[in-house]
């Protein structure tokens, strides 16, 4: 009985190898046009400034008034930078939603 099962399995497996030569695959070249990514950040937008209220500057400040002055100067610079960056972000959002 085992020989019969083995023989049938062997014939089935070897029968799968008895097919003809497969044809050469067809090679096609297809051009795909993709929109070029365009940055929405203008080139004239500079790097962020070095703000005066760093941890080291605040630790080295003489007193609370000096620390407050450093924090206030940093806030003014950050607000000016935010005034430059917010329109750029709004433009990028408009371009991205199109």
Q: How does pLDDT run across 2-52, given as a tens digit for each residue?
A: 777 877 777 776 666 656 677 888 999 999 888 877 788 888 888 888 999
Q: What is the CA radius of gyration of the chain?
A: 36
24 or 97, which is more confident: 24
Ranges of beta strands (E only) in 7-89 are none
Segment 62-78, tens digit of pLDDT: 999 999 999 999 999 99
Closest Cα partner for 56 from 40, 78, 74? Answer: 74
Which 3 state secondary structure label does DSSP give 45? coil
Closest Cα partner for 44 from 79, 73, 87? Answer: 87
Residue 76 token pair: 């003014």
Which ranges constitute the DSSP H helices of 1-98?
Answer: 2-15, 55-60, 64-96
Regarding pTM above 0.85, the answer is no
What confidence score (pLDDT) does residue 77 get? 94
Residue 55 token pair: 């941890």
């Amino acid at each position: 009985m085992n020989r019969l099962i083995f023989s049938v399995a062997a014939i089935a497996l070897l029968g799968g190898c008895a097919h003809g030569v497969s044809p050469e695959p067809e090679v096609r070249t297809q051009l795909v046009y993709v929109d070029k990514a365009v940055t929405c950040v203008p080139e004239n937008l500079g790097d962020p400034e070095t703000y005066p209220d760093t941890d080291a500057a605040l630790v080295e400040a003489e007193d609370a008034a000096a620390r407050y002055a450093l924090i206030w100067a940093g806030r003014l610079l950050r607000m000016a930078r935010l005034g430059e960056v917010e329109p750029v972000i709004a433009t990028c959002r408009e371009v991205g939603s199109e």
